[in-house]
A and B are shown apart, each in its own frame.
Chain A
Amino acid sequence: MPKLKVDGIEVEVPQGATVLQACEAAGKEIPRFCYHERLSIAGNCRMCLVEVKPGPPKPQASCALPAADNQEVFTTTPMVKNAREGIMEFLLINHPLDCPICDQGGECDLQDQSVAYGRGQSRYAENKRAVTEKYMGPIVKTIMTRCIQCTRCIRFAEEVAGVEEIGAIYRGENMQITSYLEEAVTSELSGNVVDLCPVGALTSKPYQYEARPWELRRTLTIDVMDAVGTNIRLDSRGRQVLRCVPRINEDVNEEWASDKTRHAIDGLVRRRLDKPYVRVNGKLLPATWDEAFAAIAAVDHGGSVAAVAGDLVDCETMYAAKALVRSLGSSLLEGRQTGMAYDTSSLAAVNFNTTIAGTEEADAILLVGTNLRWEAPLVNTRVRKAIKRGAKVFAVGPETELTYKVEWLGHDLSVLGDLPDTVAKIFADAGKPMVIVGGAALKDGHGAALKLVETLNLVRNGWNGFNVVHMAAARMGGLMLGYAAKGGIADLTHAKLTFFLGADEVDYSRFGGFKVYVGHHGDAGAAHADVVLPGASYAEKSGTWVNLEGRVQRGERAVFPPGDAREDWSIFRALSDVMGARLPFDSLAGLREEMYGEVPALRHEGLVSFGWSVPAIDGSASGTIGGYPIKDFYLTNAICRASPTMQRCSAELVHGETFAEAAE
């Protein structure tokens, strides 16, 4: 634990910390461009120069200098001030003065730091260099003349995304950052380089020229594109969400977000349901709320009522629907749209018990029927981190590119009962073994995977290595609220009246009764419904979501739903009046109190403890994994299917279509 002085302030930093970190610990701001705490150290921008004693009588790059005992660091001396001004001048030599038309303007590190540490005027009268734009795919727009070659994007692609497709070609004055042969970067995390870029060289293509940061209203909420529960900030202007960026949450998403999280938001203003519809003579016709409610109230359901929850809904919506179904005399609830019927008697057995952050510590990982890269991209980055620390990864399922080296054990589930000796040995020696079961294996392999808990000793003191990866943001919350019928969705198909809460992945042909779709997008669900009630998307309601590790998180409303659409819980409340089964809450707060009364674990944000118990399931495994549930990462729900950016990503990155760039 080196002890050193920064500007006279004594600090103690952990072994291996850098001088820059020590300066931060002392509360000093060190300007930087290339240094990023989640990436390796490059030390090439030289902006973080400080004066260090003992040492050579010249400024030193603090990001790459290890902190040592008895060092004296100065961050305010004339030498440091001069050095910063000099570096700033160098960086600005070739940087264009196009801030007024740059999307980074207002949130640009270079802009801010040149104001804070620069000379204030330029002495440079020569020609600046210009660099042609590079194509990096449908998410990242490049204006490479602005690039200061900090190489953060290169390091991110290599270290975090695991896709080594960005690099620096040529050298010196001619150095250029580009993707390999200017092909689209095939990472589902490529949007993060936009946030990493300290200047306006890499900006968001879908967001280009949309807004200035100071015009935007920021709302903190939770992403619903997958079950990770990425903490996000929605930036909106007026009634439209213009941008989605990740918030830092070390336990969940660190500071990354997948491209789907970031860019599906343009689907929020397309294909929206903004008024109720009632099916008349086989055709959906616009109606008023009263007419729509009357049509539902007219159904003679005789107590045979069901609710099917979609993948994106919040706990409040599910609770309101559950309360209505219950007050109508039924308990038919299901959220597993595709017909899965795994045992839910112990929620711990279908939870990601190791936790997302805990994954980093694992030293042996077995993936069972999961394409983690698409099912939970930000869990995949944690697995990559574990591998960096020396973890071995094995996988059962069809081979797929996971961005790291995996030893494939075939796609026959029976291997779970009879692991090869080498694998069994590695797991026997492992201190923190981990099994991750995906949706593809949950049907036939859940029992066999649970059996591994015993044979591989996955649950031990302070460590639970049994994990299930869900893909729906609503899943864990739904299971906690009882959205799981014993036989899965098949138990519900006979219902005379069924409410579909934004459920677009259901096989509607199996439902014979009256179908009410409550949702926000005109997708599969709305097309099959008898009555469509327009609801709110995740950006338009305050809600509670439980992520795949059982973490209760709450999000705030960013904008209002369009047209006549209403927040889902209030729809059920109003409908309950018409159906003569009035629900006992009049506000979101009232609903939440009711919900907490029923499921106390939802009251507090943070990890829910499910305890550990293994349900009695047949532990024999048979059958093969034919494929993974997600066929197209970019089009997994109604919002992304409505998003032009996601459609373009899908066409280009999944289906390999090429798009000619418009000549400029």
Chain B
Amino acid sequence: MADAVHIPDEAETRARWGAFAWSEENQRKANEILARYPKGREQSASIPFLDLAQRQVGAETHTQGWLPVPVIEFVARAIGVPYMRVYEVATFYTMFNLAPVGRYHVQVCGTTPCMLQGSDDVLAACRNRGLVKGGTTPDGLFTLTEVECLGTCANAPMVQINDDNYEDLDYDRTIAVLEALAKGAHPEAGSTIGRRASCPEGGPTSLKAMVDANHDYRPEWENAHAG
């Protein structure tokens, strides 16, 4: 169990990614990121650089992107720190993919709040759509991962797909999101039942007088105390 996925460092990975370098646009971004940190503190750019590199790999492979070992080494060279130090960072954060993923990386939250709100249905929907946990669909579209809390408990259950969260899901809406993505559409991120951020479902349940204009509740509290 303690052994996580094998990190590919085969000859073909080296051959494919050994010559990795920033694209012109990313080079500009990288310069900008590096400029945020004082001289001698280039190591601080580890995470933003790894993220940028993963996005570039994603763009090149038309997937969400991952971090082959030669790319990690490229990042380490770019900020002048030993390979091991960047490698530690890349393995620590789950947002960095150490193995190739599909076009859409579907991360289903299965932690308690989501589970109570029906994340089992969401997972079932994914499974019935052909997604396999820890694997990529044959068409290279979806990679399914079950993850721990992504901090969207108020809108549970939720999935994170690449950079977007899809919230308030049930079986059908999950299928709908996946279908839309498969068609190449870009379904609107956020709540799938139309609520804004984590506003209460079906309108406000408290502080109702505040909805349209500011309202001073303080006199009412005084009365309440008096009573």
Contact = CB atoms under 8 A, between A and B. Distances in A.
Given A181-B9, A181-B69, A167 B2 contact: no
Given A171-B92, A181-B9, A181-B69, A165 B2 contact: no
A132 B88 CA distance: 17
Interface in B76-135: 82-85, 87-88, 91-92
Interface in A386-419: none
Contacts of B15: none
Given A131-B2, A180-B87, 12 more contacts: A130-B1, A131-B3, A164-B82, A167-B85, A167-B88, A169-B92, A170-B92, A174-B1, A176-B2, A179-B84, A180-B84, A181-B69
A174 B91 CA distance: 10
Nearest to A130: B2
B89 to A, nearest CB: 10
B84 A165 contact: yes
Determine which residue in A132, A166, A167, A171 has the highest number of CB atoms from chain B within 10 A of its CB, and name it.
Answer: A167
A174 B85 contact: no
B211 interface: no
A466 B3 CA distance: 53
A527 interface: no
25 contacts: A129-B1, A129-B2, A130-B1, A131-B2, A164-B85, A165-B84, A166-B84, A167-B84, A167-B85, A167-B87, A169-B88, A169-B91, A170-B91, A171-B91, A171-B92, A174-B2, A174-B3, A174-B4, A176-B3, A179-B84, A180-B82, A180-B84, A180-B87, A181-B7, A181-B87
A165 B87 CA distance: 10
A129 B2 CA distance: 6
A132 B9 CA distance: 18
Interface string A76-114: 000000000000000000000000000000000000000
A166 B83 CA distance: 10
Nearest to B81: A164
A166 B7 CA distance: 17
A interface residue count range (under 10 / 10 to 19 / 20 to 34 / 35 or more): 10 to 19
Interface string B178-207: 000000000000000000000000000000
A210 interface: no
B80 to A, nearest CB: 11
A129 B91 CA distance: 19
B84 A173 contact: no
A607 to B, nearest CB: 37
A179 B92 CA distance: 16
Interface residues of B, number: 15
Given A169-B91, A181-B69, A132 B84 contact: no
Interface string A163-195: 011111111011010011100000000000000
Interface of B: 1-4, 7, 9, 69, 82-85, 87-88, 91-92
Nearest to B83: A180
Interface string A128-159: 01111000000000000000000000000000
B38 to A, nearest CB: 18
Contacts of B9: 181
Contacts of A129: 1-2
Contacts of B7: 181
A168 B82 contact: no
Nearest to A171: B92
Contacts of A164: 82, 84-85
A180 B2 CA distance: 18
Nearest to A179: B84
Contacts of A171: 91-92
Contacts of B87: 167, 169, 180-181
B126 to A, nearest CB: 24
Contacts of A167: 84-85, 87-88
B4 A170 contact: yes
Contacts of B92: 169-171
B68 to A, nearest CB: 12
Contacts of A169: 87-88, 91-92
A517 B9 CA distance: 52
Nearest to A176: B2
A131 B4 CA distance: 10
B91 A165 contact: no
A130 B9 CA distance: 23
A173 B3 CA distance: 10
A509 to B, nearest CB: 46
Nearest to A94: B2
Contacts of A180: 82-84, 87
Closest 4 CB pairs of A and B: A164-B82, A167-B84, A169-B91, A180-B84
Interface string A114-130: 00000000000000011
B3 A132 contact: yes
A55 to B, nearest CB: 31
A391 to B, nearest CB: 17
Nearest to B5: A170
B71 to A, nearest CB: 14
A167 B84 CA distance: 6
A491 to B, nearest CB: 50
A171 B95 CA distance: 13
A131 B1 CA distance: 8
A174 B83 CA distance: 20
B17 to A, nearest CB: 14
A180 B1 CA distance: 21
A216 to B, nearest CB: 34
Nearest to B90: A169
A649 B227 CA distance: 87
Contacts of A170: 4, 91-92
B106 to A, nearest CB: 22
Nearest to A157: B84
Nearest to A167: B84
Nearest to A181: B9
Contacts of A131: 2-3
Contacts of A168: 88
Nearest to B7: A181
A169 B88 CA distance: 5
Contacts of A174: 1-4
A158 to B, nearest CB: 8
B2 A173 contact: yes
B211 to A, nearest CB: 44
B93 to A, nearest CB: 8
A73 B4 CA distance: 42
A176 B3 CA distance: 9
